[in-house]
Amino acid sequence: MARVRVTRRVHFSAAHRLGREDWSQERNLRTFGECARTNWHGHNYELDVTVAGSVDPDLGFVMDLKDLKQLAEERVAAELDHRNLNVDVPWLGDLNPTTENLVVAIWRRLAGALPDGVTLERLVLWETPRNYVEFTGEGLE
């Protein structure tokens, strides 16, 4: 049976600060540059969520995009939008909120919440219009 991928994009704005608590501020600034400043900074993130599965013969969908949008907005965007990623999001814990770490955490939020027969295939998290990270779940237990 044909396997098809579908993608939905959601948006959220969030602040963060990169750095390690066990490092000095000087070392954090050397390593993370302006992103380590103590007064935070923000991004307007875009998240592309790609799922895959067989096309339902009755509906013609892999997954209704309305349902995918709702899932991504409820489990990710609503939890992150207008939040400080370092202090306001319990499921991020004490994670250094780089875009790479964030996309892996988002994967964990979404992967187990999809309908039967639908799998999470790829996330693309845009930090800026020119910078993004991509994750396919590779290496997760």
Query: What amino acid positions are annotated as catalytic residues?
Result: 35, 82, 127
CB 102 within 8 A of CB 76: no
HEC string for the chain:
CCEEEEEEEEEEEEEECCCCCCCCHHHHHHHHHHHHCCCCEEEEEEEEEEEEEECCCCCCCCCCHHHHHHHHHHHHHHHHCCEECCCCCHHHCCCCCCHHHHHHHHHHHHHCCCCCCCEEEEEEEEEECCEEEEECCCCCC
